Each structure stands twice: as structure tokens, then as C-alpha cells.
Amino acid sequence: MHKELLEDIGEKELIKRLAKFMPKNQISDDCAFIKNINNDLLINTDSLVEDVHFNDATISALDIGWKAVASNVSDLISSGCDKIIGVNIGLVVPPKTDWAWIKDLYSGINQALDNFGGSILGGDCSTGKEKVISMTIIGIQGEIKLRRNSCRPKEVIMTTGIHGLSKLGLMIKSKKIFDSNIYLTQTLIDRSIQQFCKPKLQPKFLKQIMKARPNKSFKTIGCTDSSDGLFQALNDLSIESNCKAIIDYKKIPKHVNWPKGHEWDKYYFFGGEDYELVFSLPRKWANNLLNSNRNISEIGYFTEGLPSVEFTNLKNDKFLKYKPFSHF
Amino acid sequence: MHKELLEDIGEKELIKRLAKFMPKNQISDDCAFIKNINNDLLINTDSLVEDVHFNDATISALDIGWKAVASNVSDLISSGCDKIIGVNIGLVVPPKTDWAWIKDLYSGINQALDNFGGSILGGDCSTGKEKVISMTIIGIQGEIKLRRNSCRPKEVIMTTGIHGLSKLGLMIKSKKIFDSNIYLTQTLIDRSIQQFCKPKLQPKFLKQIMKARPNKSFKTIGCTDSSDGLFQALNDLSIESNCKAIIDYKKIPKHVNWPKGHEWDKYYFFGGEDYELVFSLPRKWANNLLNSNRNISEIGYFTEGLPSVEFTNLKNDKFLKYKPFSHF
């Protein structure tokens, strides 16, 4: 198929084409305009770098667009966002990039925004050696503030879903099947690729916890997302809230076909990019929520003590020695 | 001097150090929180890419930090921003980057924010092959909307200052002195390097035009900044406002020591990164402003006609054939 390279279409034409992906918020102007805000705001930036966060071999531009939005939206959800306003995009691409790639990226971004709410507000596009999508999202803070530092001893620790799927999806897509003796069911394969390429989020989470709230005086709860893996999420909550997490290994919700073994525990707890919520609530509130939402699992509790994550019902804790991915 | 590379200090320590540059807005959390907004907002993203927008040979990390903020603030000022709220930073750096570079970058960012207003709200940091600083700024829309599409025929075209200095500064710093027969005065050299490395902006512009306003019913004026050069600014205004700009070449304000000649006109009109404002006002308003602000110059007027930029009192228009820099 004929490639239409950016260096051939030129900057002016590119800007004209990109403008078509933006609704009227983007004034034909030096910056974008957001009308009539009357709230507390949440703002977050996530950058995706080629060959660090994605590459053409494992994920399409359409899915990268979706995922860039999803990872930003997930940070807003895990802070108690009520409504997404929109995103600004700082895009860096080499001059040899095919226009079709950019078009798909922006289509994926708009697909995700149609799904989660909000629109593309504005942004800029520059040349560079490698692709970088730096996205900044703005949303409105809802009534309950979800914060990493707000977990309290005696609270029940819960999570909204199962982990490890995105990591497995990545390994399947990059053809790094690490354990050839393991049989993976098609359901697990499909679900993992789905979670890696086009992750689902928990956009109704704030409404669910508000509905389950036994007392309107509760305004803050301890919460984060598992974008850096379940273990990291638990660790962050315990450090920021200055208490100890006790996790019951038996209660950890796994995909019904998830294989057993040390390596698989490592992928489960350290895989990342699952975008589930990890949070804690007082017992009564937790019970209300667990009774009304079957996808939410109780996995442990917080107790007083030095910040740490401890496991019960765990025979082989070898996977805990794993050092998670570090950029530097 | 001993270099402290990011790959040696590690990601956790880096995040801890970066947090020290952010005031309390940055919750120890998934995203940043902005309290109690009750306004229309302006939002803008500018990305600076190594070897495209800057390189270590010509500009220090401290100045890059300042300039990243300045180029973003300039877009807000040229839209009529009343108050800067803050910036989110998407930083990409190679693992071999010296911590001192990052520290200087963030110091420069905070110096600029101390000067222009606002603070670092949050952001993220990733690894990559080349440095990218993608900055998103948020500010509050003031009472008068400054927009590219709001110039009207018969209005006086003005600019807040002289152009070409930043381009000359870049050429001096990169040792590309293009015309060895020209003597540059030390005043011009110093002023040019200053404008290239640590550009001044026009933060009081909105107040000045509001003060000069003869009638409070005027709520919108045509304006942009000259970050892409004076000619581009005039061209953008005429296209977006659908009218013709007539510029009197003799009225163009130049540095007293600015050399004459075709090449120097090219740098003057196409250099870019001067961050002056280019705008138009009805005659009475213009006169009020010109009488009270000696740095502002009248350079022409808009008239009905096909969007274009025409010059009077110009003998040699060869420089107008110049094709400005394009990313692609």
C-alpha cells in the first residue's frame, strides 16, 4: 500500500488534518478554551514512548490511541473523577511516519474519549527521532476524594478485578511465550490480548462507592490504580497511608484458567497496565459494596505497623523477590 | 566534575527528587488537584525536542526550563489570560542523562513560574532516546478574549516590540555567523542572546489594553504572538480573520543597531521565538494604547480583501520569498 509520509504532506497540511479530530474547543488559535468551569479539577500527564511503552510489532496505532487515553483516565478515576473534560496531546513523530499511523492514533484517541467522556482540546505536533505521545487529561473532582494516603488501619482492602492479563497479552503479542509446558486456553488468550490492547476501565467506580456509602460524612478513601502492578499499588497505599497491608493470597481473584507457579505469580503481581482499582474501606461500607458488585473482591486488610505488604496463606513467596521494571 | 546519571540513581529516587520541585498541589497520588476553579480556562501544550528545538551546545538546561514555560505562557498571554494556574510536565530523558541537567531544567521552570505566576502541578518522567519536554499549561481566561480570528478591516496593526533578536541569539550561540562583513554591537549581541536564552514576555499586555479600552463593550480583539516569526503572525491573523494586512515597512521597529540588508530582513520577519504580541485595534483604542506605552509600535492596518500580507515603502522584497522552517 502507498505510504503517505509526513515529510511529503508537510506541516501545514498535517495541522489541517489533525484539526479535524478536534471539536470546537480548539480555537483556531494559540491555545484551547474550556468554558465555564466551576469545580475542583484533576489533571494528569502520561507519556508513551516508542520502544519503551509500545512498538509497532505488538500494538496498532488505533490501540495506542485508546491506551494513551485509558492510562490517563484511569489515574483520574482512581482519584475520584466525576467527569472527563478532555485531553491535550503533545505528539512527537519522525518525518518518515506514515500519515495513516497518525490518523489511526487520533481515531483511537477519539474512540476512547467517546467511551470514557471528554474530547481532544488541543495540542501540538513536532518532529523527533522516536514517537512520543505525551497526553494531559483534565477532569472534575467528584464528591469523594480518592487518595493514596487515605487508607486507615482496620479497613478492608479490595480490588475491582483480576490482574496479570495485560502482561500476558503483551507476552503473547511479542511472541515471548516463557513457559512452553503451559497450555493457555483461548478464553484466557483472548481476554489477555484485549486487556493489553484495549484495556477496560472502571468508569462507574465513584458512583458505585457513593451508592454503597453508609454515611455521607465519609469524604475521602484510600485508593490507587494497578497501572504499575497490584503489588506496587498495595505498596504505594501502605507507604503513603503509613500502615501495613495484610493480603490473603487465597482471596486474590485470578482468571479461572490462570496457570499456577512462581513465574505466573510474578506476572500477576508485577505485570502492570491492568488499570484495576485497589482501595480500602471501613467494614460496613465494604460489605455494602461487595454485596452489590460481584466483580469486586476483598483481598485483605490494613493494620497499624510499618508500611509494608505481607501475605497470609502463601507457601512460596519467591516471586516477591522480583524487582519491578524501572525506567532508569 | 562527577556526573550522577539517572540510570545510577534509579527511578524511585528520581521521582522523590522531582517531587521537591512541586508545591503541595501535587498530591502524593495518581494525579494533581487544582482547587476551586470558577472561570473559563485556557490550556496549551508545547513540546521541546532535543536537536529540533534545543541542544546542549547552544542553551543551558536552566534556560531550556525557562523557555519551555515562556513559550507556553506566551500562548496564554496572546489569548488574553488573566492568571496562570500552573504546568504539567511530560519529561522524556535518556538513562545516561546527568541528574544535574534535570535539576537545572526544573529550577529554570520554577524561576519562570515565579516570574510569570503559577506552579508545577504534576507530570511524569520516562526514558527515551532523546530529550523531550512536553509541557501543558493552564490559565484563567481574562475579560477580553484575544483571538486570531478577531481582527477587522480598518483596524490598526501593532506589535509590542522588536523582532529577529532571538534568531540572532541562536546564530551567535551556535557560531553560525552568516555575514562576516557585518559589525554587531555588543548591546545587540547581549540583547539577542538574552532574548534567545531567557526571553521576556508581555505579561501586562491584557491590563494595558483593558486600561486603554475606550468602551467596555469591546470584548474580543484580534491577536497572536510572534513565536513563529512576525510574518507568520501577520499571515495567521489575516487568514483567520479573513482580511488583508497592509504593513508599512518603514514603521517596523528594529533594534537601533540592527544591520541592513536582505538576509537581515529574513531573520527579522521569519526568525521566530521573539514572543512579542501582534494584534489590531480600532483607531481610538490604538491611540490610547500607543500614547501610554512607548514600546508598542503601529506597523500597518487591516483592510477588506483576500487574506494576505502586503508591504508599502519596501524597495527589496526578496526576503518575502523565504520559506519558513517546517517540521515535516
Judge contact between B307 and B234, C-beta under 8 A: no
**Rounded CA separation B24/A219 (Å):** 20
Instruction: Read off the pLDDT of residues A47-92 as tens digits, 9 standing for 90 and up.
Output: 999 999 999 999 999 999 999 999 999 999 999 999 999 999 999 9
> In this structure, what DSSP letter does residue A249 have?
G
How does residue A29 score in pLDDT terms, banded at 50, 70 and 90? low
Q: Which residue of B has its CA nearest to A78?
A: B30
Amino acid B278: pLDDT: 98
Sequence-distant (6+) residues with CB within 8 A of B158 are B278, B279, B280, B281, B286, B289, B290, B296, B297, B298, B299
Q: What is the mean pLDDT of residues A209-230?
A: 94
Chain centroid to CA B120:
19
How many Å is the maximal CA-CA distance in chain A? 63
Sequence-distant (6+) residues with CB within 8 A of B136 are A45, A88, A90, A136, B43, B44, B45, B72, B87, B88, B90
Please give the single-letter amino acid code of residue A122: G
Low-confidence ranges of chain B (pLDDT < 70): 1, 24-29, 178-180, 325
Chain centroid to CA B28:
32
Instruction: Using alpha carbons, list the distances in angstroms from residue B289 to A234, B142, B280, B282, B283.
Output: 59, 18, 11, 11, 10
Judge contact between A170 and A150, C-beta under 8 A: no
Amino acid B181: pLDDT: 77
User: What mean pLDDT, rounded, does chain A reach?
Assistant: 92
Question: How much is the pTM?
Answer: 0.94
Whether residues A40 and B52 touch (CB distance < 8 A) is answered with no
Q: What is the ipTM of this complex?
A: 0.93
Judge contact between B289 and B160, C-beta under 8 A: no
Sequence-distant (6+) residues with CB within 8 A of A247 are A157, A234, A299, A300, A309, A310, A311, A312
Q: Collapse the DSSP code of A263 into the 3-class scheme (helix H, G, I; strand E, B; otherwise coil) and give the result.
A: helix
Amino acid B179: pLDDT: 67
Chain B contact for A147 (CB, 8 A cutoff): yes
Whether residues B45 and A88 touch (CB distance < 8 A) is answered with yes
Q: Select the residue of A52, A129, A147 nearest B127 (Cβ to Cβ).
A: A52
The residues spanned by each domain of chain A are: 16-141, 145-321
Q: How many contacts, defined by CB atoms under 8 Å, are there between A and B? A: 218
Set of cell numbers at residue B91: 519529561
Q: Is domain A145-321 in CATH 3.90.650.10, yes or no?
A: yes
Residue A27 has pLDDT above 60, yes or no: no
Classify domain B6-141 at the CATH topology level: 60s Ribosomal Protein L30; Chain: A; (3.30.1330)
Q: What is the mean pLDDT of residues A240-260?
A: 96
Strands ordered across the beta sheet of B308-312: B145-147, B220-225, B277-281, B156-159, B297-303, B244-248, B308-312
Set of cell numbers at residue B117: 505566576
B186–chain A nearest CA distance, Å: 34
Whether residues A328 and B136 touch (CB distance < 8 A) is answered with no
Amino acid A182: pLDDT: 82
Chain centroid to CA A159:
14
Q: Is domain A16-141 in CATH 3.30.1330.10, yes or no?
A: yes
Amino acid B325: pLDDT: 67
How many Cβ atoms sit within 10 Å of the Cβ of residue A83?
13
User: What mean pLDDT, rounded, does chain B reach?
Assistant: 92
Instruction: Read off the pLDDT of residues A81-127 as tens digits, 9 standing for 90 and up.
Output: 999 999 999 999 999 999 999 999 999 999 999 999 999 999 999 99
Judge contact between A140 and B34, C-beta under 8 A: no
* R_g of chain B, CA atoms, integer Å: 21
